[in-house]
Structure 1
Amino acid sequence: MDQEQLEYYRDKLLEEKNSLLHQLKLNESFGLDESMNASIGELSGYDNHPGDLATEMYEREKDIALEENEVHLLDLVNEALERIEDGTYGYCLKCKKEIPIERLNAVPYAKYCIEHQPNDSISIQRPIEEQFLMPPFGRTSFDDKDNETEFDGEDAWQAVARFGTSNPPDYFRDGDDYDHLYIESREPRGYVEQVEGFIITDADGNPIDVTRNEAYDAYMENIEGEEGISEIHIDDLAELEDEINDKN
C-alpha cells in the first residue's frame, strides 16, 4: 500500500472517529448517565415484579448495547490509526497477508481478512454482580467452615425470601407451596438439632410439651435418617410425649 492510499484511509478513519465521538456526545451516553430507576421516576425497583419493568429493562439493555457498540467501533478505529503509524495497516493480524482493498473500503478499521475474521458479535461486557454471585454466597457462606454458625449471606436471603419472591411454585421442579421457594427452604431456622424445633422446654431446659409442626413431621418421617440428628430417636420421642401428657 503506497503513501497516498495510507493518507486516504487515515482521513477516512479520522472522519469515522469524529462521527463516533459526536454520536456518543449527542446521545449523552445513551441515557446511561443516570440509573434506570431515576430515569423512570422510581425510588426503587426491588419491590416490583420483573414483568412490571419489562419495557424499561428492554430499553435499558438496548441502550447499553448501542453504547457498547459505539465504544467498540471507536476502539477499532483508534487501533487502525495506530497500525498506520507503525506500518502494519492493511495486513491481516492472523495470516499477515494484505487485506483486499474492497474490504478496507467497506470496513477501514478491519484488522483481519475475511477468512480469519473472528466472531466478536458476543458482548464481553458482563454485569459486575457476576463477580460476586459465583459461586452463590461464596463470599459470605460459612456452611463449609468448621465450628461456624454465624448468620451468613445464605441465611440473609432465606430470611427475606420466605416472605415471597416473584417466582411461582411451578417454577421449581419440586415446588409445592409458597413457603419453600428458595434455597434450602426446609433448613431449620433458630435451632440446630431437629428436635429443638418442636420440643418446648422450661427455663431449666426440661421438656414440657411437643409441638406438632413442620419440624415434628420431618422428624417423624425420618427425612434425614435417625442417626446423627439427635440422641432422641422416634421410639424415645413417643415415650417423651406420653410422659408430658401424664404430667399435664
Structure 2
Amino acid sequence: MLTEKQQLKLKKMLIEQKRELIGETNEGENELTAKASLRDATDELSTIDNHPADLATELYDREKDMALKVHSDDLLGQVNAALERIENDTYGVCAKCHEDIPYDRLRAIPYTAFCIDHTEAKAIPTDRPIKEEVIHPPVDNSFSGRDDDDDELQDNEDSFQIVAQYGNSDTPADFEGDFDHYNDLYNDKDEDMYSALEILHVSKEDSLNGQISQQYADEARKHDYLE
C-alpha cells in the first residue's frame, strides 16, 4: 500500500509528464497540419516527376514524426488513466491480480497498471512479407541447383557474358585503347563458357586418409560431391 507522501509524489510526476506530452502532441499536430501533404513538407511544386530516392529522407522524417505522435497520444492516454485511478483510489493496484504494485516500479513507470508479473507482453510479429514465398535467398554455391539433365555448368560471370553480347551501358570512355567499332568494345563475347561434362566426386577414402580436410569433406557431402 502506498503512503500518502508516495502517492502525492507519483501524482506530481504524472501531472508533469502529462504537461510534457500535451506540449509534444500539440507541436506534432501543428507541424503535421501545417505540412499536410508531402509536397508542402518538401516545398516541391510536384512530387510526381521526382525519383522516389530523392524524397527518401523527407519521407522517412515524415513517417517518423507521425509515429512519434501516435506514441505520444498512446502514452498520454495511459497517463490520464493513471490519474483517474488516483482519483478513484485504485492506483497502485495490479489490474489483473489485484496485488499492490511495488513503489520502485511505480516510480520508474508511474502510469503502469500492472505488476511486473502481469505486465502486458509486447508481442513480436512473426509474419513475413508475402513476397518471400517466391523470392529465394541466394546460395553460396551457384552449382548446387544444377539440373541432372543439363551437363553444362554456368557461373554468374558466364551469365553476364551471354547478356552483355547484346549490349550494355559501357561507353568508349570506360575502356583503354583504340577501337574501330562499337562491337569491339566488349571482346569477351566469344570466350568459351565454363562447362563440365563429368562431375568429379571425392571418395570417403580420401577423406579418411587425410588427403582433404574434414571441413572440405563436409562441404562436398552437403552439395552431393562426396560418394
TM-score, normalised on structure 2? Answer: 0.48
Higher relative contact order (CA 8 A, sep 6+): 2
Q: With structure 1 as the length reference, what TM-score do the two structures score?
A: 0.44
